[in-house]
Amino acid sequence: MNAILRGVRVIDPLGRLDAAGQDVWVDGGKILAIYHHIEAAGVPVVDLTPADGADACVLCPSFIDLHAHLRQPGDDEAETLESGSRAAAAGGYTHVVAMANTMPPIDTPERVAEARLAASNLPVSILQVAALTLGLEGVALVDIRRCIEAGAVALGDDGRNGVSPRQLAIALAETAHLSRAVFVHPEDEEMIAQANATQGPVTRSPIRPVATETRAVNLAIRALSHARTGNLHLQHLSCEGSVASLRRARHQGLAVSAEVTPHHLSMWVPVAEEPDPQALRKVNPPLRAERDRVALVQALREGLIEAVATDHAPHRAAEKALAYGDAAPGMIGLETALATCITIGGMGGEWLATLVERMTVGPYRILGPGSGIPEPRLRIGEAATCTLFDPAAEWTVGASPLQSRSRNTPLLGATLRGTVLLTMSGGHVIHRDPARVPVTSEQVGSA
């Protein structure tokens, strides 16, 4: 790609740069210059200068998603690595961390290696989490060292949380020596079973009180305290009580990080109008009260919660058409994450630079340097891995075909602000809005 992007706001959190009215020259996939005005003979200009008083388009390091379900192997009808990769690129992501709860689960070094090989030729970098326990059953730990040697970027049984605090403490101690985090899905399965008066799997059980999460959060933090080492990462926090527990753990100096999803930042119950089918809003942990949502937004703004993670969870339409109690939990999020956070998630306007940090640097730091993800920066002379988006441009979810194979989101038909115009990975254009970035095919292919 050879073009000058004119009149953009450049946000590079690690470079301590937030500058409006900049021109950015990209040539051969590299950022040649960032300056307040650039003229170069023969170089096409993509004029993105905002009208007076309007929000500028933003160029920033590309987004990193800590938490996605890409369904391969086991459910190609819902999603594949290829379709998930396209959805990620359309959402501004170049790195996506895939969970281990596939069919079969990624719970051996061999399966980690197979997953990495299957994702090796995609435009988006898919990083693989290895299961924490065999079969995600919460009983026997996987071969942690060999799974990491095979390329796992973290360990976690997301979708389940059957591991005991003692086993979790052992895993935290072992992963600490290998510079990896343990991801925990903080929901207490025994409490959920009791609340739903059921036995066996509780993944689809609809009644999940706040206490099922806060107890699991506290048990995981206690395991970290007992281990006296390790890095604990709490996934998809959803309630005020979990934020309070996280704050206490930080004050104690414990190495615990946390993420929040766009849907928990932006949605709560009761909803003004139920989606059709109702199960489109079913997710684990569930959407909670407005006070919980407000607490999550505040925690993300202040940095107590360091990262936004999509928990992209595609499902076949039939799985969401069932009665609410029987339907599969989860919603897609890769293509809607940015716009959801900007429009209804409390992270637009003056918080836009903070949102960029929480979608780039935050996830990078949680994964650590051992993940292999390059530092999220906009560096002159280096291959561009970046995202260009218009925070004010409106679009309607589902009006144009989504890149994901699934459409399970309660946002279908909603008008959101925040449109990704360009995504580049390692100097290559992997997503482009041709109407807003009208460079020729030859110019695009010059990366």
Confidence at residue 333, expressed as pLDDT on a 0 to 100 scale: 98
The set of residues, in sequence order, having a beta carbon less than 8 Å from that of 391 and lying 6+ positions away, is: 55, 57, 58, 342, 348, 352, 417, 418
Domains and CATH numbers, the chain: 2-59+380-444 (2.30.40.10), 62-371 (3.20.20.140)
Confidence at residue 444, expressed as pLDDT on a 0 to 100 scale: 55
Q: Could you give the CA distance from residue 331 to residue 247 in angstroms, rounded to a whole number?
A: 28
Q: Which residues are catalytic?
A: 311
Q: Could you give the CA distance from residue 246 to residue 216 in angstroms, rounded to a whole number?
A: 12
Averaged over successive runs of 10 residues, the pLDDT of the chain (447 residues) comes to 96 98 96 94 95 95 98 97 98 98 98 97 97 97 98 97 97 96 98 96 97 98 97 98 98 98 94 90 98 98 98 98 97 98 97 98 95 95 97 96 97 97 97 92 50
Q: Quick check: helix, strand or coil at residue 383?
A: strand
